[in-house]
Chains A and B, each alone.
Chain A
Amino acid sequence: EAQVTQNPRYLITVTGKKLTVTCSQNMNHEYMSWYRQDPGLGLRQIYYSMNVEVTDKGDVPEGYKVSRKEKRNFPLILESPSPNQTSLYFCASSLSATHRYEQYFGPGTRLTVT
């Protein structure tokens, strides 16, 4: 089944404790992206990757890191999480830079930082 998977789905952590949210897709997609969703603010793009080893900042990259060493994986790293990073996070992928518009979304990761 073609899908985007995220792990963990739920995470409660404390301020300053480094964490990684994994994202994997099995569709051989080139374009991958991370979003956060907050009430009243909609989805905001954190980082995106056009292909392996190519990443760029989105609208709200502060406090986050990403890497794209393999085509299928695009982990989101919070080096020192803070309470304002409490949010619902989505990973998404699309076929290529040309077909990036139809994005497939993962199920989401609900992160709480206390």
Chain B
Amino acid sequence: SQQGEEDPQALSIQEGENATMNCSYKTSINNLQWYRQNSGRGLVHLILIRSNEREKHSGRLRVTLDTSKKSSSLLITASRAADTASYFCATDPTGNQFYFGTGTSLTVIP
């Protein structure tokens, strides 16, 4: 399977702390995306990083990509209770199909 894997599977932090989650994938990619899913709801797109980019920022989000290690990380700074959700990475090795990871469940304790 070309599916990515997020690490850790679950993460619990205090409000105000930073949260870091990682994604590893198996084949070369065009782009990598991160999505957020609140419990039982549809996914919401957070950020896209292209294969020729190494780092990208969006508000409190920072994404890095290391294509040599086939891995990406998502950092959420100054976390809030509202950040409690599952986070997924998605890759598109063939350009038309998407492969999602199994997700990291983040709990931010107020």
Contact = CB atoms under 8 A, between A and B. Distances in A.
A103 B43 CA distance: 9
Given A45-B97, A45-B98, A58-B97, A101 B33 contact: yes
Interface string B81-100: 00000001010100011111
Interface of B: 1, 3, 31, 33, 40-45, 48, 88, 90, 92, 96-103
A59 B42 contact: no
A12 B107 CA distance: 31
A105 B45 CA distance: 9
A74 interface: no
Chain A interface size, under 10 / 10 to 19 / 20 to 34 / 35 or more = 20 to 34
Contacts of B96: 48, 50, 56, 97, 100
A108 interface: yes
A35 B33 CA distance: 16
A108 B40 contact: yes
Contacts of B92: 101
Contacts, number: 57
Contact of B45 (A40, A90, A104): A104
Interface in A11-30: none
B48 A108 contact: no
Contact of B41 (A42, A44, A101, A107): A107
Contacts of B98: 33, 45, 103
B92 to A, nearest CB: 7
A88 B103 CA distance: 15
Nearest to A108: B42
B36 to A, nearest CB: 11
Given A42-B88, A101-B92, 11 more contacts: A33-B98, A40-B102, A48-B96, A58-B97, A59-B1, A59-B97, A59-B99, A92-B43, A101-B33, A101-B48, A105-B44
